Amino acid sequence: MLTKQLGDILQFVEKLGELNTDGVEPTYSVVPVSNVMREDEEKPSFTQEQALSNAPEKDMGFFKIPKIME
């Protein structure tokens, strides 16, 4: 079912091919700002405990994951 649905959606978006977009700039963002920088200052942030508070598994202050190598 998923295969058919994705096929249908792709067929639906094919419609854009009708339009001539030669020389048209893409709009990645509607906001006229780019590369917003900030000073590299120390600010209050999470404690280790807070950062790990939602971790599915943790050990000694680290995120724990299943083994990577067999």
Footprint on this chain of other proteins (rule: CB under 8 A): 2, 5-6, 8-10, 12-17, 19, 21, 24-31, 33, 36, 38, 46, 50-51, 53-57, 63, 65-68, 70
The nearest distance, CB 70 to other proteins, in angstroms, is 7
Output the smallest distance, CB 36 to other proteins, in A: 4
From the CB of 8, what's the least distance to other proteins, in Å? Answer: 6
Residue length, the chain? Answer: 70
- Residue located via tokens 């709009």: 27
Helix%, strand%, coil% for the chain, nearest 5: 30, 5, 65
59-63-65 Cα angle (round to 5): 95
